[in-house]
Chain A
Amino acid sequence: MSLELVCPAGTPSALRAAVEAGAHSVYCGFRDETNARNFPGLNFSPDELVEGVRFAHAHGAKVLVAINTFAKAGAMDAWKAALANAEKAGADAVILADLAVLDHAATHHPNLRLHLSVQAAAATPEAIAFYADTFGVKRVVMPRVLSVEEIAKLNAAINVETEAFVFGGLCPMTEGRCSLSSYATGKSPNLTGVCSPPEHVAYTEDRNGTATRLNGFTIDRFGAGEQAGYPTLCKGRFVAGGKTSYLFEDPVSLNAASLIAALAKAGITALKIEGRQRGKGYVTEVVRTFRAAVEAIDAGGTEVEVGRLLAGLVEGGRQTSGAYKKTWR
């Protein structure tokens, strides 16, 4: 196997669906603020993780546990418990971002394999060397602001594995440093694990279509039949300079399937699919399609038409290769 396919699971049934669809690894989180997909009804209890790891291992797949929010000063108990529960469940690695959580894991759970979350936004050889030398981090998830060429240069200068997102929701900001959601709701993915927390989101239908409101602020309005996106500020439509537009980013999903071979050549170890908040239908279709794409490239075959196969699952009905190509340069 040349490339490891790392797939999302928001629930135990999604984990089973991902494994059965061909995931080499599945990543998931606990049902609290210790992970960046802290949505109502989502995620795993400690007992469910034990069962999930047992199922994955029985099918030859690994389980990586995301504990990737930033711990609150003086209130680290939830993050410490998450690390202990991940180790107890037999997780193959934990995905961390916060320095204190990394330090606690390296000191108290030396047998846990540590991956550095995209939330840590480590994009230089110096930053990555610091995490590797100080905490023993074995893999770094690449920030989604780097081009393939930049990843190749980075991989040549470091000696840990790297993982790159290839499909799903796309943050236009540097991960771990975006506070847009906090301005409108007081909560952010970095500290509470939620961007645009659903208790602040409301959709209102009227004759002109659907208005999306975030804590009372109207952030988008789309007409009947117009494709919709997630209710995040970064993908909202605003008036600036007398013009209404998607100021930061269009509603669009990442699809880097056409770059799988280039990413492998750039030294990437693993390909990551975003979407722990998505359903089994999404997990099954995306994992199956990307597994076929990876195997086709391994076998020197022709590229699988991922974009066409998954067109119905993407945000805003549009797909982009994001920063990997940086066509705007």
Chain B
Amino acid sequence: MAEHFRGELPKILRLLAAPAGFLPLGPALTLAVRRFARRKPAVFDRLGDYGKCSFLIEPSDLDVCFLMVPDGTRAEVKCLRRRASQHADVTVRGPLLVLLGLLDGTFDGDALFFNRAIAVSGRTDALVALRNAIEDAELTPADFVGATGGLGRLVDRSVIGGLGLARRFTGSPIPGEPS
């Protein structure tokens, strides 16, 4: 796979982002996805049987990766050290800030692929299904922390604003503009 992508985190941040610090994220993300599945089951209906496929999400600028099986209320997310050899039905690789932009709909997946801002391998049909389900889910940062109401709006505004700033700082692709 390609080694470097546009918009990766600066080296100093990568060094600070020690894998051990991320590993507890797995159970927390598992709970967040299951909670979301109970709240919006239609998103997982859209995925159909592809919900049982495994998706390896590899931020190219971190030493950790995320292995996800988005099977509704039985969903599971594991946070792993990237060096561990891991089989998955689908692998998606790219800078963390770009991958997060796919989650909230900031970026168009096809455009990122055309511009080689991400790399994909494995079962393309499962990836397309996941991409379309995520597109329709209208995920927000508040969904991941289970915040609602005023607190949810505050979380969304802060995180989305922060991500926008971070993308400008790291030179991430800008929607509509060539990479």
Chain A residues at the B interface, C-beta cutoff of 8 Å: 10-14, 17, 39-42, 197-199, 201-205, 210, 224-231, 251, 277-282, 284-285, 289, 309-317
Residue B132 contacts which of A11, A311, A313 (CB distance < 8 angstroms)?
Answer: A11
Tell me if A309 and B130 are in contact (CB < 8 A): no
Contact: B124 with A313, CB < 8 Å? no
DSSP class of A's interface residues: helix, strand, loop or mixed?
Answer: mixed
CB of A279 within 8 A of CB of B115, answer: no
With A and B bound together, what is the CA distance between A17 and B16 in angstroms? 38
Nearest opposing residue in chain A for B49, CB measure:
A40
Tier of interface size on chain B: 35 or more
User: In the complex, what distance in Å separates the CA atom of A13 from the CA atom of B113?
Assistant: 21
B115 contacts A312, C-beta separation under 8 Å = yes
Q: Who on chain A is nearest to B121 by CB? A: A203
Q: Across the two chains, which residue of chain B brings its CB closest to A285? A: B176
- B24 surroundings in chain A (CB, below 8 A): none
Tell me if A199 and B111 are in contact (CB < 8 A). Answer: no
Shortest Cβ-Cβ A-B pairs, 9 listed? A41-B132, A40-B129, A41-B129, A11-B136, A282-B108, A199-B125, A281-B108, A198-B125, A279-B108
Chain B hits for A198, CB < 8 A? 124-125, 127-128
Q: Is B144 an interface residue (CB 8 A)?
A: no
With contact pairs A39-B132, A312-B175 given, residues A282 and B111 touching in the complex (Cβ less than 8 Å): yes
Instruction: Give the complex CA separation of A39 and B48 in angstroms.
Output: 12
Say whether, besides A41-B47, A198-B125, A312 and B111 are in contact (CB < 8 Å).
yes
Question: What 10 new A-B contacts, CB under 8 Å, besides A229-B114, A279-B110?
Answer: A14-B135, A41-B48, A205-B119, A251-B114, A278-B108, A278-B110, A279-B108, A285-B108, A309-B176, A313-B175
Judge if B1 is at the interface, Cβ distance under 8 Å. yes
CB-CB under 8 A from A225, the residues of chain B are 2, 116
Binding site for A on B (CB under 8 A): 1-2, 46-48, 50, 101, 105-111, 113-116, 119-133, 135-138, 173-179
Closest residue of A by beta carbon distance from B122: A202
Q: List 28 A-B contacts (CB under 8 A).
A: A11-B135, A39-B128, A39-B132, A41-B48, A41-B50, A41-B129, A41-B131, A41-B133, A203-B119, A203-B121, A205-B119, A205-B121, A228-B113, A228-B116, A251-B114, A277-B110, A279-B105, A279-B110, A279-B135, A280-B108, A280-B135, A281-B106, A282-B111, A284-B175, A310-B176, A312-B111, A314-B114, A317-B114
Chain A positions within 8 Å of B101 at CB level? 281
Q: How far is the CB of B107 from chain A (nearest CB, A)?
A: 5
Q: How far is the CB of A143 from chain B (nearest CB, A)?
A: 24
Query: A40, B125: Cβ atoms under 8 Å?
Result: yes
A230 to B50, CA, bound (A): 22
Which residues on B sit within 8 Å (CB–CB) of A289? Answer: 176
Shortest A135–chain B CB gap in Å is: 32
Out of A12, A231, A317, name the residue touching B136 (CB < 8 Å). A12
- Min distance, Cβ A121 to any Cβ of chain B, angstroms: 25
Given the complex, which residues of B lie within 8 Å of A14, measured CB to CB? 135-136
Cα A112 to Cα B174 with chains together (Å): 41
Say whether A313 contacts B119, CB under 8 Å.
no
Query: Contact between A41 and B110 (Cβ–Cβ < 8 Å)?
Result: no
Most buried by B among A224, A228, A285, A312: A312
CB-based contact A41/B109 at 8 Å: no
Say whether B135 contacts A40, CB under 8 Å.
Answer: no
Q: Is the CB of A281 within 8 A of B111?
A: yes
Please tell me if the beta carbons of B105 and A281 are within 8 angstroms of each other in the complex.
Answer: yes
Q: Which chain B residues border A317 with CB–CB below 8 Å?
A: 114-115, 178
A40 and B48 in contact (CB under 8 A), knowing A10-B132, A202-B124? yes
Nearest CB in chain A: distance from B156 CB, A: 16
Q: A205-B119, A224-B116 are in contact. Are A281 and B107 (CB under 8 A)?
A: yes
Q: How far is the CA of A23 from the CA of B9 in the complex (A)?
A: 36
Known: A40-B50, A312-B175, A315-B114. A279 touches B121 (CB 8 A): no
Find the B residue at minimum CB distance from A283.
B108
- A278-B110, A281-B108 given as contacts; is B116 within 8 A of A205 (CB)? no
For A285, the chain B residues whose CB sits under 8 A away are 108, 175-176
Is there contact, CB below 8 Å, between A279 and B109? yes
A251 to B120, CA, bound (A): 19
Question: Could you tell me if A280 and B105 are in contact, using CB atoms closer than 8 angstroms?
Answer: yes
- Contacting A41 at CB < 8 Å: which of B116, B120, B122, B130? B130
Distance A205 CA – B93 CA, assembled complex (angstroms): 12
